[in-house]
Every structure is written in structure tokens, then in C-alpha cells.
Chain A
Amino acid sequence: MGRDTYLKKVLGEDRYQKVQGSTVLMVGAGGIGCELLKNLMLSGYGTIHIVDLDTITLSNLNRQFLFRKGDIDQSKSITIKKAVESFNFHGTKLISHHGNIMDTDQFPIDWWDQFSYIFNALDNLEARRYVNKMALFLKKPVMESGTTGFDGYVQPIFPYKTECFDCQPKATPQTFPVCTIRSTPSKPIHCITWAKEFLFQQLFDESVEGDAEDLSNATDNDKELENLLKESNELVELRKLVVATGEVISQNTFFSEMVRKIFQIDIERLLLIDTLWTNRLKPIPISDAQIEEVADLIRSGGIEQRLESLIDTQVWSPLENLLVLYKSATNLQTRMKNNKFIAFDKDDEDTLDFVVTAANLRSLIFQIDTLSKFDVKQIAGNIIPAIATTNAIISGFSNLESLNFLAQNSRTDSSMVFISIRPNKYVTSATLEAPRKQCASCSVARGILKSEEGTLDQVTLEQFIDKVKSKYSYSSDISIILGKSKLIYDFDFDDNLSKSLSEIGFKTGELVLIQDEDDEVENLELYIEVGLKSNDIELPELELRQKILIEKENGHENGVGKDAEEESGDVIESDMAFETIVIEDEVEEEVPAPKKRRIN
């Protein structure tokens, strides 16, 4: 009996052939990816391309079961391919790509065009949005998935036929008003944000706002520059102490100056603004006695011993926080001699210790509860819990739902699946909805603009505009935005008309957004593909639909944003990009929530 006997029985001969003949793409080879690749191979998919930009780290190994200790620092996409060869029973052809899926040179649009199905196994919103957009350009079905802790979902996307990834708003990371962070914290998170994004940043990291750079372009006068820098970096004096080398300034100087400035002087200054404290607890600056006590301990050399006995999961005393702050601050100061700057990284002990203790000391001042290092690490590092079982279940649904695509009525057979750990509702499914009319992605017509380099050098923007206007019969003037936010032409801005398209920045992978002045037709987005042998500019055949005007108040429906991952860079993966699932346990029939979906 052949190895595929049961598979043929389960899928049916016809679908089995389709699966065998399919070339699919799996984006991401992490928590979901490891599980999903195994499933796809055992289902007999003919060719699978795997893309991941990451390398394997120790913290991956508890759930990314295709990786072993010896694989640490190796490419995920390449390692995963080797790992599955031992059970490649159906002769699946595996092709690894180590790279960023958003790289238009490595993954141009014609590369995307070879796939019949795209599986997302991603951990961040930005890449999900990008894949979603490419799928809309090429009208390719996508299986989107995500997990957080015990929750997870899969969402089949059929471009322009069912809701796309952007149709439902996604939660954006919480931000705090500058006043709360700088003057009136009331929760531990406020102090952690202050320590990580203000204090640490200004003392050790590159300038966040890029102010210093902007300024150096704006003026040549050194004195003026220094004044401006002072304004943009309130801690410039302290920063100078950090980078000061030589014996004149001892390490203790930096530490005690810092403690005095941020935990005494600044707090006293805040206390002067008395209206702030009529309805709030007054902050209590650190006392001179406390600072003296630390200084004594440092002089007597007894701190190492005290530090060794500290436990990460316990809350430290004010003195212990000060000692750890001293230790980490001096370590960081020493490291700054060889580094221009140091970025916060939850796995870099010095940076973590600094943020933990600075945040806790600020909490003490504002009479907020202090937290253990373990707890602060979770918050400051945006660590999202990842559970192997959740990933496995979701990958299973991802695979199962994709097999529906190859059935007769692909769309009607597919559904969204949510899993969660709620009594009697571990698994819920919902039918796919039509695209939302006000979705910023679905309400745009898309196509590919084909050309070649020589042509882009010759055609002027003015000629291009004429061509677009006549091709799509625009009745009013148009505006053109290139890339993320470069306005190159509108009714009020004709400076670039005589420039050639290549001079303006038209190149492979760039996006051109065209809007009409009178809001009569939908927006049009073109993907520039250079390389075709053509001495003209080929515009896609498209019929622009009438524009749907949406009430302004609905603007918030299209919530967009990045998730925590991108902000921090390195996080344990697997997150739920999806809006919190609106499935209430027992009461769902009685309570019609606006966001509720039809439950099968």
C-alpha cells in the first residue's frame, strides 16, 4: 500500500491531484511556520516556498520543534527545509528564501505570481499588511493566521471577494500622553515607559526624534547648535558625563549626578507646579540620606555581595534598586567608551537592569507599586506569550481551510476559525464576509504598471498624467503620491511636470497612488514593474468603480497601526494581529455587539 493511499481517500483523487500540482508560499518559519510546514508536507503539497528573515534563537526552541540547540544562529528558512526532509513522504519540492518578504528586489511581483496559495505564518502587522496588499494586487488567496497565548485565529482571504486583512481594525499599541509620562505617572507602566523611552534613550541611545541630526543640517554655528541640542535633549549635561572619558570624572560622579538630577531636582521642580498635586499624591524626592547610604556602600566595596543575593522574581527594596542602578549605569558608562550608543534590549542585562531600577525608583517617588525585574522585563520587552499547542491547533486549521480552497466551491466552503480557552467555546467558526466598503485597502483599484528603464527616463510626469487621465477617463484633475507619502503632483503642485519619471523616483516595487480631485471614482494604486521589453508605459486594464463616500465619523473604523513587535524589534513571536475576538460565552444570542460576526 502506497504512502499516499489514505491521503487520496481523505482528499479525493481529484483534490489530491490539485494539491500535488500546487505551488504555495509560506511566509514565516517560526512558531506557526514549523507546525504548518509539517502539515502542508503531509497533505502532499507539490512545491512549497518558505520565506523568513530570521535566525534561530534559544528562546525559539521550546515550541519551534523543527529546530535544535545546534541550529542556533542559523537561518530559519534554510534550517527548516533540512529538518523536514526526513519525512518528505510525498516528494514535496521545498525552496528556502532567507530574506525579508517586503524586499522588492528579492521578491519582485512576478515571483509572487507563481503561487496558487499564500500561507501567512507571521508575527508582525507590517509584513501581514504587505502580504495582504500583494495578494490584492495579484488576486491571490491568502490564509492568514495568528496566536497569542491560548487564543488564535485563521482567516481565509479571497481578495476583493471577502474581507481582507485590513477590513477589520487592529489594535494599536498603547501610547501614553507626554504629560503622564513626564509629570504625572500613576501606574508602573508609565514609569517603565519613562525609564525606557525617555531616560535610557536620552542617556545612552541615539536621539529618537532625529532632532540632533536635523539641527546639524540647519546650522553651522557651533554655539547655536549646542543651544539647540540642549533644548532637544534635556539631559544633555548628564549625557556628557556618560561619554566623558579620562580619570577626571569618576564613575561615581555620573551616578550621583544622575540620581540627584532625575530623582531629586526634577521632582522638586515638579512639586513647584502645585496645581498638579491638588488631586494627586505628591511625589517624594529621594533623600540625601538614601544617596549617602549608597555612596557609603560603594566606597566600602560591599555591593557585589549584596547584588549576588538578589532574586529576579522578587521586588527589591529602594536601596537594592539604587545599587543595581549604580552597577548597571557604570557598566553602561564603561561600554559607551567603545560604542557610540547603546539601544535598549530586554536580553541585554545592563540595559534591562537600568530600566528596571530607574522605573522602580520613579515608582517609589510617585508612590506607585514597584515590580520585580521579571515583571518589568515582560512589560519593557513587549513579551507576548506563545504556546506550542495553540500554534499547532491553528496551523491545523490553516491547513484544513486551505484544502477547502481546492474544493469545488472554494469560497463558500471556507470560514474563519477562532480558538480560545473559554468554557464550552474552545473553537468557533464564522462565515466570510464581503469586503468592507470603507476598507482603505479594498476600496482601492489595483494593477501593475509595466515599463522598462529607458522609457522611464524619457517619459515626463506631464505625459504620464495625460496618459493616465485618458486611459481611465478621469473627468477632473488627479493627484499622485509616490511610495509612502511623497506627493509628486496635484492641482496645486506642478513643479515636477517636466521631470522624467525615473528622476521623480519611479522604479521597480514602488507604489503610485492616484486620486481624483472631485472624488468621483475610487482611488487607483499601481505597482511599478520595470524590466519588461516595452518602449511604452503599459497601464493595467481596469474599470474604476464609483467612489463610496464615507461619513467622516467613520474614519476610526479603519484603525491602522503597528503592533508591539515592530516597536521593540525582538519579541517572542506569534501574536494575534486580530482585533480581540468578539465571542461572548453564553450570551451571544442576546447581546448584539456591532462587531459580532455571524457564527455558523
Chain B
Amino acid sequence: MSLCKTRLQEERKLWRKDHPFGFFAKPIKAEDGSLDLTTWTAGIPGKQNTLWEGATYPITITFPEEYPSKPPKVKFPAEFYHPNVYPSGTICLSILNEEQDWRPAITLKQIVLGIQELLTSPNPDSPAQEPAWRAFLKEKDVYEKKIKEQAKRYISTT
């Protein structure tokens, strides 16, 4: 527990000193005016020259008490359209999975870059929702149309 909070403050410091262009990440403000280090909101810009460009996709990152032994949970909004995102918005990504590639040394920056990469390169072998998975593999035109529609909903403000 004490490791969790020192590490989260460390992540905050690291992020302030160095974060990739177009991204944002910050702990949410609690009612009492403090910042809740265990819950962050972040924005993932779609890569340029891809279906995802021009938009910033919002995610919520929740850190468990056992962080960094255990990975944070990362969610898009519910019903987010992507083959590896569950209907609830939960992201299926190996670096966020304790049994797969999560390591305590993985930083917030690596997580958000990993998610940005996942947007444009879905993994067809670990489907998390049927519609996007099916379209991605079998109906490319439907998939592209849906992704572009979604991009309009999350259009970047800057």
C-alpha cells in the first residue's frame, strides 16, 4: 500500500517531466478537493494517417492497492468499438494482464503508448466483442466506417 502511493506520485512526476505529444493523463479530483491518485483519466490521440486520427479517445485508469505488483485496470467508455475492447469498455491487452506481460516496471507512458498502438493494430486472436471483431476480419468496409464514425465522436479539441 505504501509502495502504491509512492509509486503513483512517482508516475505523476515522470509524466510531468516527459510525456508523449497529444496525450494527457491526470488523477481525478475528489469531492474534498484532493486528487485521487488511484483513479486517473487520460486521453489517447489516434495515430496520424490512420482511421483513428483526429480524435482523442478517453480512458479511465484504476490502480489497485496492490499496484505495482498488479496492473491497473484500463477502460474506454462502454460500447467502445474495437475488437479487443469488452462491451463494458475494459481493454484486453497483454501488458495489462498479470498473467501475461505485466511487469511492475511498466510506466504510465508505456501503457498509454501501448493502447495507442492497439487502436490501429487490433489482435484478432483475443477478441473481446463480437461486432468489431467480425467486421475487422470479414467486413473491412463496415469496420472502417464504424471507426471513422467513432473518431468523430471523440474529435480532438486542440
Contact = CB atoms under 8 A, between A and B. Distances in A.
Nearest to B63: A485
A485 B3 CA distance: 11
- The CB with the most chain A CB atoms within 10 A, among B88, B100, B103, B134, is that of B88
Interface string A257-277: 000000000000100110110
B68 A485 contact: no
B120 interface: no
Interface in A525-580: 525, 552-553, 555-556, 558-562
Nearest to B3: A440
Nearest to B36: A485
Given A177-B97, A273-B130, A499 B5 contact: no
Contact of B92 (A179, A495, A523, A552): A179
B33 A481 contact: no
Nearest to A486: B34
Contacts of A273: 127, 130, 133-134
Given A231-B88, A515-B9, A505 B32 contact: yes
B130 A481 contact: no
A484 interface: yes
A368 to B, nearest CB: 18
Binding site secondary structure of chain B: loop
Nearest to A553: B105
Chain A contact patch, size range:
35 or more
A228 interface: yes
Given A555-B104, A562-B66, A179 B2 contact: no
B16 interface: yes
A411 interface: no
Contact of B34 (A169, A175, A496): A496
Contacts of A228: 78
Nearest to A175: B98
Contact of A275 (B1, B78, B88, B124): B124
A493 B9 CA distance: 12
A479 B12 CA distance: 11
B7 A486 contact: no
Contact of B66 (A172, A183, A275): A172
A440 B2 contact: yes
Interface in A492-507: 492-493, 495-496, 499, 504-505
A487 B35 contact: yes
A490 interface: yes
A517 interface: yes
A406 to B, nearest CB: 31
Given A177-B97, A440-B3, A485-B36, A556 B105 contact: yes
A272 B134 contact: yes
Interface of A: 129, 133, 166, 169, 172, 175-180, 182-183, 228, 231-232, 234, 269, 272-273, 275-276, 440-441, 444, 479, 481-482, 484-488, 490-493, 495-496, 499, 504-505, 513, 515, 517, 523, 525, 552-553, 555-556, 558-562
26 contacts: A133-B2, A179-B92, A231-B78, A232-B88, A234-B87, A272-B134, A273-B127, A273-B130, A273-B133, A484-B1, A485-B8, A487-B34, A488-B34, A490-B13, A505-B34, A513-B2, A513-B6, A515-B6, A555-B7, A556-B68, A556-B69, A556-B105, A558-B104, A560-B65, A560-B69, A561-B65
Given A488-B35, A556-B104, 13 more contacts: A178-B86, A231-B87, A273-B134, A484-B5, A484-B38, A486-B30, A490-B12, A492-B12, A513-B5, A558-B104, A559-B104, A560-B66, A561-B69
